[in-house]
């Protein structure tokens, strides 16, 4: 059984964890499987975009100088000498008072310096010749998408570590990435502990509950960008737990246990850390929920000992495991995205430790608002499902009222923050 533990600041806990951070290596996947992966190389334009001057409309490529005097009182007639569909290249150079029919996306023919939209001309046939009549002046460069105006060859468009979204995927296709370099996902071992835990398909028994933390953590891992390796849910029996943890460390990049880190008589994790020769970074943090969150380092691999209480487990993951996963994936913003929000309901509890309240943020016009959801107790599970942010109430504060501006950490945002939430105030005593 552990003795009295000394709590540390949230910011110090995050810093100690991040000192053990590592980067993932690269693997190549088909472009069809790259969604929501993280780019392992900067994406550079290997050619100008557009690769040639082209027409953004269906119309006629012409010479602007021919329209210099064009007016509704002075219509100008041009002979149409060729037609260019998208993907075609015209070999006909247009000369004085000539035009070429051109379709959206087609390359501007030699001689032309502008395009007039189809809706603005009158077309007519004389014999086997075709003419258009123009009643307005068109300036040089009008209606041309110029080579390189979207992107220049060799320009870095997207940085390494960027999450691949539909727009990034479009660029990957544009530059011919049929296979895409992405960061290999970290393999994260998950070991739920606790004799009270039933499997999800087992009927309830007196004194027992179904294992929900394991599934929740797995879902958090997927959302953060990691991959999962499940380990059997062991009863609180030290030898089997020791062997699970040992195997997980060998087979995974990171290991998470849930439960067993408190001060109960069957909380074996601290004993297991000792046997494994792990360096325990900390075993108490000045936060609610999740104060018992324990992190250890064994030969450079992190073991996260999260609380067995669902809300504490959830918060511990988001604050300490998520940035390790995102840093592995080369994110430059590995922490939960920070914002401020106007509190929409009173929260009058004092906060001896910094409190991370499962809450729902919303938009009211151009302002962000926030409201706690459900019961604020560490062992509560329902409020997690309704929450889309954590409201952070710093330790040492007495309570908050409607209209107060509070810090929030967004749970469903993929952008992240460069810096974590940190305590600002200093107290004489933790």
Q: Which of residues 99-118 bind its own copies (CB under 8 A)?
A: 101, 103-107, 118
- Number of Cβ within 10 Å of residue 31's Cβ equals 15
- Locate 54 and state its tokens: 């082209």
Which range in 10-18, 60-68, 133-141, 215-223 contacts its own copies by CB under 8 A? 215-223
Q: Is 91 in the site for its own copies (CB under 8 A)?
A: no
**Least distance to its own copies, CB of residue 11, Å:** 20
Q: Is 119 in the site for its own copies (CB under 8 A)?
A: yes
Which distant-in-sequence residues (6+ apart) come within 8 Å of 93 by Cβ? 109, 110, 111
Q: Which is nearer to its own copies, 108 or 301 (CB)?
A: 108
Q: Which of residues 235-254 bind its own copies (CB under 8 A)?
A: 235-236
Q: Which of 113, 253, 267, 376 binds its own copies (CB under 8 A)?
A: 267
**Least distance to its own copies, CB of residue 64, Å:** 20
- In 3D space, the residue among 16, 10, 17, 14 whose CA is nearest the CA of residue 287 turns out to be 10
Which distant-in-sequence residues (6+ apart) come within 8 Å of 209 by Cβ? 196, 197, 198
Q: Which of residues 270-299 bind its own copies (CB under 8 A)?
A: none
Q: Which of residues 299-358 bind its own copies (CB under 8 A)?
A: 308-310, 314, 337-342
Which range in 69-77, 128-136, 277-285, 368-376 contacts its own copies by CB under 8 A? 368-376
Applying CB under 8 A, the site for its own copies has a residue count of 117
Coil/strand/helix, residue 339:
strand
Q: Which is nearer to its own copies, 78 or 151 (CB)?
A: 151
Q: Which of residues 383-412 bind its own copies (CB under 8 A)?
A: 383-388, 405, 412
**Least distance to its own copies, CB of residue 352, Å:** 14
For 354, counting Cβ atoms within 10 Å of its Cβ (0-12 exposed, 13-18 middle, 19+ buried), the class is buried
Q: Which is nearer to its own copies, 65 or 123 (CB)?
A: 123
Which range in 14-22, 183-191, 241-249, 359-367 contacts its own copies by CB under 8 A? 359-367
Q: Is 88 in the site for its own copies (CB under 8 A)?
A: yes
**Least distance to its own copies, CB of residue 265, Å:** 6
Q: What is the DSSP code string of 124-177? A: EEETTEEEEEE-S---TTTT-B-TTSSB-TT-EEE-TT-B--HHHHHHHHHTT-
- In 3D space, the residue among 317, 358, 296, 333 whose CA is nearest the CA of residue 226 turns out to be 317
Measured in residues, the chain has a length of 430
**Residues 18-37: x/- map of binding to its own copies (CB under 8 A)?**
-------------xx--x--
Q: Is 201 in the site for its own copies (CB under 8 A)?
A: yes
Rg (CA), the chain: 31
Which distant-in-sequence residues (6+ apart) come within 8 Å of 34 by Cβ? 164, 169, 172, 180, 182
Residue 164, CA distances (Å) to 87, 231, 280, 410 in order: 28, 30, 36, 20
**Least distance to its own copies, CB of residue 255, Å:** 19
**Least distance to its own copies, CB of residue 333, Å:** 12
Give strand pairing partners of 370.
Answer: 343, 361
Q: Which of 77, 297, 379, 397 binds its own copies (CB under 8 A)?
A: 379
Q: Is 79 in the site for its own copies (CB under 8 A)?
A: no
- Number of Cβ within 10 Å of residue 359's Cβ equals 30
- Number of Cβ within 10 Å of residue 86's Cβ equals 13
In angstroms, the CA 381 to CA 312 distance is 10
Which range in 63-71, 74-82, 212-220, 328-336 contacts its own copies by CB under 8 A? 212-220
- Locate 252 and state its tokens: 């995974």
Residue 317, CA distances (Å) to 70, 122, 176, 304 in order: 69, 67, 38, 8
Q: Which of 15, 79, 83, 271 binds its own copies (CB under 8 A)?
A: 83
In angstroms, the CA 298 to CA 316 distance is 19
**Least distance to its own copies, CB of residue 327, Å:** 20
**Least distance to its own copies, CB of residue 69, Å:** 27
Q: Which of residues 45-74 bind its own copies (CB under 8 A)?
A: 47, 49-52, 54, 56-58
Q: Which of residues 153-182 bind its own copies (CB under 8 A)?
A: 157-158, 164-178
């Amino acid at each position: 059984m552990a003795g009295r533990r000394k709590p540390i600041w949230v910011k110090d806990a995050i810093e100690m964890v991040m000192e053990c951070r590592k980067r993932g290596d690269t693997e190549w996947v088909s472009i069809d499987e790259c969604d929501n992966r993280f780019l392992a190389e900067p994406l550079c334009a290997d050619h100008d975009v557009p690769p040639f001057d082209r027409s953004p409309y269906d119309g006629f490529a012409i010479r602007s100088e021919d329209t210099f005097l064009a007016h509704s009182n002075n219509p100008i007639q041009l002979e149409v000498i060729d037609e260019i569909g998208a993907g075609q290249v015209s070999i006909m150079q247009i000369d004085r008072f000539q035009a070429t029919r051109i379709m959206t996306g087609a390359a501007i023919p030699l001689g032309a310096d502008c395009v007039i939209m189809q809706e603005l001309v009158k077309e007519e046939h004389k014999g086997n010749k075709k003419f258009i009549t123009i009643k307005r002046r068109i300036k040089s460069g009008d209606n041309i998408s110029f080579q390189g105006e979207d992107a220049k060859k060799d320009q870095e468009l997207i940085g390494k570590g960027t999450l691949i979204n539909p727009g990034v995927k479009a660029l990957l296709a544009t530059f011919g990435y049929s296979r895409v370099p992405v960061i290999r996902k970290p393999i994260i071992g998950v070991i739920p502990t606790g004799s009270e835990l039933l499997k999800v398909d087992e009927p309830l028994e007196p004194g027992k509950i179904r294992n929900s933390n394991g599934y929740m953590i797995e879902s958090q891992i997927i959302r953060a960008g990691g991959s999962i390796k499940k380990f059997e849910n062991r009863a609180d029996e030290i030898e089997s737990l020791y062997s699970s943890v040992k195997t997980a460390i060998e087979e995974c990049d990171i290991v998470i246990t849930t439960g067993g880190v408190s001060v109960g008589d069957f909380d074996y994790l601290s004993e297991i850390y000792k046997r494994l020769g792990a360096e325990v970074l900390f075993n108490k943090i000045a936060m609610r929920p999740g104060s018992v969150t324990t992190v250890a380092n064994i030969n450079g691999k992190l073991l996260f000992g999260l609380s067995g209480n669902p809300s504490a487990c959830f918060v511990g993951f988001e604050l300490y495991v998520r940035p390790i996963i995102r840093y592995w994936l080369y994110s430059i913003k590995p922490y939960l995205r920070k914002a401020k929000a106007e509190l929409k309901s009173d929260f009058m509890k004092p906060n001896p430790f910094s409190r991370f309240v499962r809450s729902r943020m919303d938009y009211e016009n151009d302002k962000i608002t926030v409201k706690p959801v459900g019961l604020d107790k560490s062992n509560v599970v329902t409020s997690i499902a309704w929450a889309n942010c954590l409201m952070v109430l710093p330790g040492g504060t007495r309570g908050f009222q409607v209209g107060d501006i509070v810090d929030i950490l967004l749970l469903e945002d993929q952008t992240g923050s460069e810096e974590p939430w940190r305590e600002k105030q200093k107290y004489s005593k933790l």
